Structure 1
């Protein structure tokens, strides 16, 4: 069973990862955001490809669900941290992180 502290520790251990506020959530980024954490530390939103999202949701439907909006159709996936093992969390972080590194930063 994982929690927000586990996600924060594991995300920040990835090379070049940093944390910053993002609306009502904490965002973890390398070159781009790869995961966000809700303020209560109960859920995280991961950036997957749509194919990765489908795989994760089929593999562990008690943990992963697509976000029900346009972001979800792009692969953003919500995870219930209490239902996730530390291995689930590490694998999801590494998958999402791979999409964030080496990408040019968007102008804000």
Structure 2
């Protein structure tokens, strides 16, 4: 399980990362581009992964990582179930941004 505080700390650890509202969610951005969001209502995160990383994470844990079920999902936007994901696995997904 990953808490919002752990999520926030990890997201803001990237150089120049900022936290800003995005509709009903919280977004995390670098140079004004969103790389992750947090949906408090559904307790999940959405990460922008490249296609290869998305397929690896989704294949390894399809109940934890899965593409957004629309065109955004085909572009790498991936839902992460924060109540189910192990902190190490979540950090591994975030480290794909580096």
Fold in common (TM above 0.5): yes
Q: Residue 17 of structure 1 contacts residue 30 of structure 1 at CA under 8 Å; is this kept in 2?
A: yes
Answering whether residue 16 of structure 2 is matched by residue 11 of structure 1, we say no
Higher relative contact order (CA 8 A, sep 6+): 1
Q: After the TM superposition, which parts of structure 1 deviate over 3 Å for at least 4 consecutive aligned residues? A: none
SS in 2 for 1:83: coil
**Following the alignment from structure 2 to structure 1, what is the Cα–Cα distance between the partners of residues 89 and 60?**
10
SS in 2 for 1:61: coil
**Following the alignment from structure 1 to structure 2, what is the Cα–Cα distance between the partners of residues 40 and 9?**
19
Where in structure 2 are there 5+ consecutive unaligned residues?
none
**Following the alignment from structure 2 to structure 1, what is the Cα–Cα distance between the partners of residues 41 and 95?**
23
The structural deviation recorded for 1:21 is 0.4
The residue that corresponds to 2:52 in the other structure is: 51
Answering whether residue 80 of structure 2 is matched by residue 83 of structure 1, we say no
The residue that corresponds to 1:29 in the other structure is: 29
**Over the residues paired in the alignment, what is the CA RMSD in angstroms?**
1.4
SS in 1 for 2:62: coil
Where in structure 1 are there 5+ consecutive unaligned residues?
99-108
The structural deviation recorded for 1:41 is 6.7
The structural deviation recorded for 1:94 is 2.1
How many pairs does the alignment contain?
A: 97
SS in 2 for 1:53: helix
